[in-house]
Structure 1
Amino acid sequence: MRRVEHVMGFPVSLRIDDEGDVVDLDAAADSVFAWLRDVDARFSPFKPDSEVSRLDRGEVDGVSADLAEILALCEHYRKATGGAFDVRLPGRGLDPCAVVKGWSVQRAAQLLTASGTRSFCLNAGGDVVVAGGPWRVGVRHPEHADRLCAVLDLTDGAVATSARYERGDHIIDGRTGHPATGLLSLTVVAPTLTEADSVATAAFAMGTEGVEWAAGLTGCEVFAVGADRGVLRTAGFPVAGERTVPPVSRAL
């Protein structure tokens, strides 16, 4: 079963390879997209009546358990990056989207698992969580939309990329207040999309030093393309067709 919907400002595609007589595929998909629409309504900083917007305006005294979890993750990565990752930048409203996306899509994957779905690929604007593989996931070349710079073999896990090619220099280094331009793209593979997406954005905000920081996190594998077009990848980055991938530094 395959379904694509536009949610949270980007296309979300779901592929389920389970047999329909084992799982109610339509109900499983319905639960995923209903959850993502609910997240968008509750946590989008672009919707004036969302909980995030009302909190930013000081209109609520407390927050929901879900938003408390999101804000705790934001604070964790702010501290871990020395302020490079910050959802409360001066002169800007509260914007936790960098954490909300991965967190919400991982929750959607958990809904699929709870429904009995065993084999699926959920792709949210290029950030992917899979189960019951093997699945092959391509990493887009940061300068050529029709090329890939890596293809990954994944069975159960997630992959997320932060880059400048879709939205320009939109990731801000909270330490300087300026766009992070030290990297062209940075891809993280992790057990969950909550971690993969947050780490990819946080590391990108740090610039070149973020590559080593992300690579040092337990369970994270990294593929990064620098502004000089050099490539760095960790030894365990799951490139398709290679049993052992040594760290490399080379031009694309």
Structure 2
Amino acid sequence: MRERVMGTELLTVLSPGEAAAVLGWLRDVEAVFSRFRPESDVSRANAGGLVAVSELFLRVLDEACAHQERTGGLFSPFLGAELARLGYAVDFDSVGVAEPTPSGPAAPGRIPRPQVHLDHDDSTIRLPAGVAVDLGGFVKGWSVQAAADALLSERGLIDAGGDLVAWRRPTDPPWRVGVTHPLRQEPVGVLELPEAAAVATSSVVRRSWPSATGGRLHHIIDPRTGDPADSDCLQATVLAGDLATAEVHATCLTILGTGEGPAWLAEQDPTAGWLTVDRGGTVRHSPELPLGRTT
């Protein structure tokens, strides 16, 4: 099944009933977390004041904050204001030429973590002035993984815009997933996935838009500066045990670059595989990554 949800294309290799259930679940999640729907929990929280939110919102934000703490703030779910400043305040298909405002000194949404009021008993949130939640890529990975975990099928695949979860029986042939070069738009290679795997890709090319000051802007924000990441890494792909973690690690790899990033990831998750493409087009990958040829 192919559908569009969460601003991306959804591909499932499942029974019709399971595919419909996954699509319905992802649409429900989108209604809670979209920055572009005024009635969503995220939009209402970002508008300011003490806001009642759903248990789903609190659960996902808690998990995102746990990743923020684990990565020392290199991943942050509180960069919505920075994205809006750069022109990404509407659905990506509607983003035009942006006139970004200067980032200035470190804002509350950056390192360290802002003082967010969360009350789980009353299911409420209050954000500090100047801070906005953005859980876009993280919640996509989290919700796809949750959908896969809830299914009973022995073999399946859920792919949301290239970020995917796949599982199979030990005796089944492996899922083979292609990785595309961001500059040449040709296959880099094919990942032959283990029995249960998650693959996430972070790219500064895929979601980028022109700046009125020249050049291009993109949606991978470095929390240390509040500006688009400016490392040598154009694209990072991570193979991990769950998709939310893979999303976080791919984002951090892109921010850190091809020099510092792999060593950082090895400390965070020694079992994770990775592949990067730098600004010169050079492809590097971890030795254990199950990368095969395209033919």
Between the aligned partners of 1:37 and 1:84, the Cα distance in structure 2 is: 29
- CA–CA separation in structure 2 for the residues paired with 1:118 and 1:124: 20
- Cα deviation for residue 66 of structure 1 reads 2.3
3-state DSSP of counterpart to 1:129: strand
Aligned equivalent of 1:103: 142
- Match of 2:140, SS? helix
Amino acid at match of 2:222: D
User: Kindly, what percent of the aligned residue pairs are identical?
Assistant: 39
- 1:193 corresponding residue in structure 2: 243
Does structure 1 residue 121 correspond to structure 2 residue 160?
A: no
2:283 maps to 231
CA shift for structure 1 position 227: 2.4
Give the conservation status (yes or no) of the 8 Å contact 1:181–1:227.
Answer: no
* Runs (5+) with no aligned partner, structure 2: 85-131, 209-217
Superposed, which structure 2 residues align to 1:1-252 within 5 Å? 3-16=1-14, 25-58=15-48, 60-89=50-79, 91=82, 92=84, 93-112=132-151, 116-132=152-168, 133-145=173-185, 147-154=186-193, 155-168=195-208, 169-182=218-231, 183-208=233-258, 209-218=260-269, 219-240=271-292
Please give the secondary structure, in 2, of the residue aligned with 1:207: helix
What are structure 1's unaligned runs of at least 5 residues? Answer: 17-24, 242-252
- Deviation string for 1:27-67 (max 9, x for gaps)? 21111000000001011111110011112223554543322
Residue identity opposite 1:106 in structure 2: Q
Letter in 2 for 1:216: E
Contact 1:32 1:111 in 2 (8 A): no
**What is aligned with 1:248?**
none
Instruction: Using the TM superposition, give the Cα deviation of residue 197 of structure 1 relative to its aligned residue in structure 2, in angstroms.
Output: 1.4
> TM-score scaled by structure 2?
0.71
1:172 shift after superposition: 1.0
SS in 1 for 2:291: coil
SS for the counterpart of 1:216 is helix
Deviation, structure 1 residue 81: 3.5
Aligned to 1:245: none
- Residue-by-residue CA offset, 1:135-168 (whole Å, 9 max, x unaligned): 00011101122x1112100132111110122112
Return the alpha-carbon distance in structure 2 between the equivalents of residues 4 and 127 of structure 1: 14
Work out the CA distance in 2 between the residues paired with 1:58 and 1:134: 48
One-letter amino acid of the structure 2 residue matched with residue 98 of structure 1: G
Task: Let me know the Cα RMSD of the aligned residues.
Answer: 2.0
Q: Counterparts of 1:30 and 1:59 in 2: how far apart (Å)?
A: 37
Residues in 2 aligned to 1:107 and 1:60: alpha-carbon distance in whole angstroms: 29
Work out the number of aligned pairs and report it: 227
